[in-house]
Amino acid sequence: MNAPATHTIDVTLGARSYHVHIGHGLLDDSALWRGAIRGRHALVISNTTVAPLYLERVAKGMDGLQWDTFLIDDGEAHKSFDNVGRALAALAKLGATRDACVIALGGGVVGDLAGFTAACWMRGIDFIQLPTTLLAMVDSSVGGKTGVNLPAGKNLVGAFHQPRGVFADIDTLATLPEREFRAGLAEVVKGAAIGDAEFFAWLEAHADALAARDQDVMAEAIARKVAYKAGVVARDETEQGERTLLNLGHTFGHALETAGRYTTLLHGEAVAVGMVLAAQLSQQLGMSTLDDDTLRLQRLLDTLGLPTDVPPGMDPQQLLTLMRLDKKNTAGTLRLILWRGIGRAEIVAGVNEADVLAVLQAAV
Ligand code: NAD
Ligand code: GLY
């Protein structure tokens, strides 16, 4: 079988522009990713699951650099300030100068923490992303949102700090657990549902191949989602407007994740159910008159093995209470991302809580 093609997508941000490379064997292609490292020092940040699988391949490309590794334990709980402090101490021990580079090898947890560490050291040094989950390849490694969690809440501390390059080696997805892979697919569908109807139709046509992890189809799906996100980020890097649309399904999704104590649904699964609820609410508000589009969304998510129903036992009133805590809300009113149909998402402020409750009650 031929190796799938490498895709290269530009994130255009003036002097901070960079490329996202998606392809086969990229971890071994150090000539490619070493080009994004300017200085002599590098710190590889990874975790205890990913490092045994892939660190050796990265290490082979580090000749001539003074470098070290900093590993965190696996899991969202370790995306913490304490670990940023430890990573900064590792940079200090290395004697890292302002031209040093942080290398993030892992999923979104590692990428967010490594990027934030790079943003903090000497007020900002380079970092590159070597994403190893589908979610990180199609979403978190691109766009420069970095940060960590606080006991008070997820992602409460962070910085916009763009990587110098993203190198997504799709071979690493071979070891990714099936459920994590499918959760990443939800983020692919989300991009198409928000703003690219043609991509949505392509996903429908290729859903079976995608679920079966066909390499070429997977690489193209990742590239198309990244291209969509790169366009949004180039137009609205710091989320003053359009970038907010990337949160389709998130307000419902966060409430579902929290109600399930972060054990019932993975983030991507919660976003899948959340997108369906947002589509149903859009219909209820008369924004979207196309029943078909809600059905198409449900059918696509279903084919990709993602949930589309609220898990049993959840309480609509509790979900609504949790939705009131969302960061997008203003002046005590709900601000949601809804749509007029596939590829036509919009920010809607002042959404009536009774309408939201009615959709939640119908869904449980
Ligand atoms: P994750 O980083 O926890 O990875 C999921 C699991 O897969 C972990 O157990 C990890 O160790 C394992 N893993 C990673 N790569 C593997 C591989 N190739 N083979 C086997 N196992 C592998 O989770 P995630 O879904 O990648 O990322 C979620 C995080 O991303 C959250 O913290 C979220 O807030 C953040 N996020 C950030 C952005 C952003 O724009 N910065 C966007 C979306 C999500
Ligand atoms: N994941 C949403 C964003 O990057 O804006």
- Look up the CATH number of the domain holding residue 308: 1.20.1090.10
Last residue of a domain, one of 111, 146, 175: 175
What pLDDT sits at residue 328? Answer: 75
Ligand 1 neighbour 178 (Cβ under 6 A):
no
Asked whether residue 263 is assigned to any structural domain, the reply reads yes
Q: Is 254 noted as a catalytic residue in this protein?
A: yes
What pLDDT sits at residue 262? Answer: 85
Query: How far is the CA of 112 from the CAs of 17, 58, 61, 81, 142, in angstroms?
Result: 19, 19, 23, 12, 11
Which amino acid makes up residue 130?
Answer: L
Q: Is 224 noted as a catalytic residue in this protein?
A: no
Ligand 1 neighbour 341 (Cβ under 6 A):
no
- As a whole number of angstroms, the distance between CA 54 and CA 168 comes to 13
Name the closest-CA residue to atom 2, ligand 2: 246
Q: Report the pocket of ligand 2 as residue ranges, CB < 6 Å.
A: 139, 143, 145, 243, 246
What pLDDT sits at residue 2? Answer: 54
Q: Is 239 noted as a catalytic residue in this protein?
A: yes
320-348 tens-digit pLDDT? 999 998 777 777 789 999 999 999 999 99
Q: Is 145 noted as a catalytic residue in this protein?
A: yes
Same domain, 26 and 112: yes
Same domain, 136 and 220: no
Asked whether residue 117 is assigned to any structural domain, the reply reads yes
What pLDDT sits at residue 129? Answer: 98
- As a whole number of angstroms, the distance between CA 71 and CA 175 comes to 19
Last residue of a domain, one of 123, 154, 175: 175
Same domain, 60 and 188: no
DSSP H helices, 121-239, are: 134-135, 178-195, 197-205, 207-211, 215-235
Domain span at residue 208 reads 182-363
Same domain, 134 and 70: yes
Query: How far is the CA of 40 from the CAs of 59, 88, 245, 286, in angstroms?
Result: 15, 17, 39, 58
Asked whether residue 2 is assigned to any structural domain, the reply reads no
- As a whole number of angstroms, the distance between CA 104 and CA 116 comes to 11
For residues 6 and 101, is the Cβ–Cβ distance under 8 A?
A: no
Low pLDDT (below 50) residues in the chain: 1
Distance from Cα 144 to the centre of ligand 2, integer Å? 9
The radius of gyration computed from the CA coordinates of the chain, to the nearest angstrom, equals 20
Residue 92 corresponds to which tokens in the numbers above? 């200090």
42-56 tens-digit pLDDT? 999 999 999 999 999
What pLDDT sits at residue 3? Answer: 59
Name the nearest CA neighbour of 32 among 49, 19, 13. Answer: 19
Catalytic residue among 21, 41, 57, 145: 145
- Give the closest ligand to the alpha carbon of residue 72: 1
Same domain, 159 and 187: no
Q: Is 243 noted as a catalytic residue in this protein?
A: yes
Same domain, 162 and 192: no
pTM above 0.85, yes or no: yes
Asked whether residue 33 is assigned to any structural domain, the reply reads yes
Last residue of a domain, one of 152, 175, 198: 175
Q: Is 250 noted as a catalytic residue in this protein?
A: yes
Distance from Cα 62 to the centre of ligand 1, integer Å? 24
- As a whole number of angstroms, the distance between CA 206 and CA 192 comes to 13
242-283 tens-digit pLDDT? 999 999 999 999 999 999 988 999 999 999 999 999 999 999
Same domain, 34 and 125: yes
Catalytic residue among 180, 204, 239, 242: 239
Same domain, 239 and 138: no
Same domain, 149 and 187: no
Same domain, 29 and 140: yes
Asked whether residue 353 is assigned to any structural domain, the reply reads yes
For the chain, the domain total comes to 2
Cβ-proximal residues to 230 (8 Å cutoff; 6+ apart), any chain = 9, 10, 11, 12, 20, 142, 143
